[in-house]
């Protein structure tokens, strides 16, 4: 999740395994050149990226391997729903001859 219109760009990467974890965890976080590297790796590996500057600012304050706070659950749930729909759409495209 990159930020925009901030003094220094920030990015936060999340990981969530439905069957193993109760909530998403922060797996990477950084500002400036580190944020750019996080985004470059995401794009290079086909990881969906969503821009939400306010949420990024909240999550960027947390430590790596921290489970996201309850106050961010609604926003994260919206993002996960988007990703699940995207994944389902991609699977359907692959199955269509």
Q: Is residue 3 part of a domain?
A: no
What is this structure's pTM?
Answer: 0.68
DSSP-assigned letters across all residues of 6-50:
SSS-EEEEEE--TTT-SS-EEEEEEETHHHHHHHHHHHHTT----
Element (H, E) at 60: helix 53-60
Q: Is residue 5 part of a domain?
A: no
* Per-residue confidence band for 31, with pLDDT thresholds at 50, 70 and 90: very high
Q: How confident is the model over 54-95, as pLDDT tens digits?
A: 888 888 989 999 998 777 777 777 877 887 788 778 777 777
Question: What CATH number should be reported for the domain holding residue 69?
Answer: 3.40.1690.10
Backbone angles phi, psi at 48, to 5 degrees: -60, 140
Domain that holds residue 46: 10-95
pLDDT at 4 over 60: no
Q: Let me know the angle formed at the C-alpha of 84 by 39 and 19, rounded to the nearest 5 degrees.
A: 100
pLDDT at 38 over 90: yes
Q: Is residue 63 part of a domain?
A: yes
Instruction: Establish how many alpha carbons lie within 13 A of residue 75's alpha carbon, considering only the half-sphere containing its beta carbon.
Output: 17
* Per-residue confidence band for 44, with pLDDT thresholds at 50, 70 and 90: very high
């Amino acid at each position: 999740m990159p930020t925009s219109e901030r003094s220094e760009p920030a990015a936060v990467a999340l990981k969530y395994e439905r069957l193993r974890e109760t909530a998403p965890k922060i797996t990477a976080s950084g500002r400036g050149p580190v944020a750019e590297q996080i985004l470059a790796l995401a794009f290079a590996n086909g990881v969906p990226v969503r821009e939400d500057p306010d949420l990024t600012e909240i999550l960027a304050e947390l430590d790596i391997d921290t489970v996201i706070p309850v106050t961010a659950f609604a926003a994260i749930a919206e993002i996960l729903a988007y990703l699940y729909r995207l994944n389902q759409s991609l699977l359907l495209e692959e199955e269509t001859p």
